[in-house]
Amino acid sequence: MKVLVPVKRVIDANIKVRVKSDQSGVELNNVKMAMNPFCEIAVEEAIRLKEAGAAEEIVLVTAGIRQSQETLRSGLAMGADRGILIETDEALEPLAVAKLLKAVVEREEPGLVLLGKQAIDGDNNQTGQMLAGLLNWSIGSFVSKLETGDGSISVVREVDGGLEKVRLKSPAIVTVDLRLNEPRYASLPNIMKAKKKPIDMFTPEDLGVGVAPRVTVLKVVEPPARDAGVKVSSAAELVEKLRQEAKVI
């Protein structure tokens, strides 16, 4: 089985995000970038499937500027086999990404598409579901456990009421949650090997997909600073403030 893993280049999760002075977006110049943490979990799971003999090849795909190759190289250093970069300078929305991935899926014909449930920059949680709709494939979202079988994929989903077990018919799409695994660190030898692994280059035009934005960002602002807390001398005073000032009881 071939596993396709879409990955995304985002601001490193440990970096404080800053808004541009003109409020047109988030500052990306001279900011450390990294693979989206949920995408790392998807790459790790694909590698574990290959190590277990359930997958034969792992193909990474990303869409974005040329520097997104660095994100692919990170996944290749973890253990993926090859990468695909769809190069574009457009700000990609989830539907555009899903259409690009659909075109790649039709070229690569994977048995499983494994991706993070969301990216930590937009937090949209839409791409996997949209891709499933475009392909008319079965989907398991928010997955915390995954097992492959004869022509099927069994997953455990995290839902509001607890856990849900679902069996998907292959080919399928799975979006992964935090508790699925702990991604490995790439070793220095594997980082060196990743430099020689192939990355195919495409543009949206090559795939016949239009990626023009449908949404215009009017303004991006930082959240307001929190007010300082208030100390009270007794439980009775706390109850009084909650009743009279906060009006929550």
All structural domains of the chain: 2-244 (3.40.50.620)
- The predicted pLDDT at position 93 comes to 94
What amino acid is encoded at 124 in this protein? Answer: N
Average pLDDT value for the chain: 94
Torsion over CA: 85, 90, 93, 95 (sign): negative
- Rounded to whole angstroms, the Cα distance separating 233 from 169 reads 62
Round to whole Å and give the CA distance between 43 and 193.
17
Burial of 102 (0-12, 13-18, 19+ CB in 10 A): buried
Mean pLDDT in residue range 152-159: 93
* Phi, psi angles (nearest 5°) of residue 227: -70, 155
Question: Using one digit for the tens of pLDDT, what is the confidence trace for 1-50?
Answer: 999 999 999 999 999 999 998 998 899 888 999 999 999 999 999 999 99
Rounded Cα distance, 225 and 116, in Å? 31
Q: What is the pLDDT of residue 156?
A: 96
Find how far residue 15's CA is from the centre of its chain. Answer: 17
Q: Are 38 and 118 in contact (CB under 8 A)?
A: yes
pLDDT tens figures, 91-141: 899 999 999 999 999 999 999 999 999 999 999 999 999 999 999 999 999
Q: Peptide bond before 110: cis, by omega within 30 degrees of 0?
A: no
What strands lie across the sheet with 172-176, from one edge to the other? 162-169, 152-159, 138-148, 172-176, 112-116, 2-6, 57-64, 82-87, 199-202
Inter-CA distances, 43 with 24, 40, 63, 207, 217, Å: 32, 5, 16, 24, 31
Are the CB atoms for 177 and 163 separated by under 8 Å?
Answer: no
Q: What is the pTM of this model?
A: 0.88
Whether 55 and 44 have beta carbons less than 8 Å apart is answered as no
* Amino acid 224: pLDDT: 87
- Helix boundaries (H) for the chain: 37-51, 69-78, 94-108, 127-135, 188-194, 204-207, 235-244
